[in-house]
Amino acid sequence: MTATLPDRLCPDRLCVDPASPFHDAALLAQGVGIRFNGAEKTNVEEYCVSEGWVRLSVGKQVDRRGRPLTLKLKGTVEPYLRDGPAAASLDRTAAGR
């Protein structure tokens, strides 16, 4: 069972990169999931609800600075809180990021 994020918890934009001004470690630790165009996405690096886009990582490829290569797609973005421990699609801290 999942719960839709209330407006106060649902930032318009969220990013997993700690250097980004849109990074929120406390919210990511709770576990955030993303539905993009009705499909569950597990490789989301960043999203923006108002502009309707997600930035997805492309495999395990990285750029010269060690950040993942991404692809920006436009569509309907629906963030939600995951049930259980912090196994979030946006939380890369446990993966050694």
Q: Is residue 94 part of a domain?
A: no
Query: Domain total for the chain?
Result: 1
Q: Is residue 27 part of a domain?
A: yes
pLDDT tens per residue across span 8-46: 466 899 999 999 999 999 889 988 999 999 999 999 999
HEC string for 5-52: CCCCCCCCEEECCCCCCCECHHHHHHCEEEEECCEEECCEEEEECCCC
Domain residues for the domain of 61 are 3-81
Reported pTM: 0.75
pLDDT tens per residue across span 44-96: 999 999 999 999 999 999 999 999 999 999 999 999 988 755 444 454 544 44
35: closest CA among 26, 44, 24?
A: 44
| 27: its two tokens | 């919210």
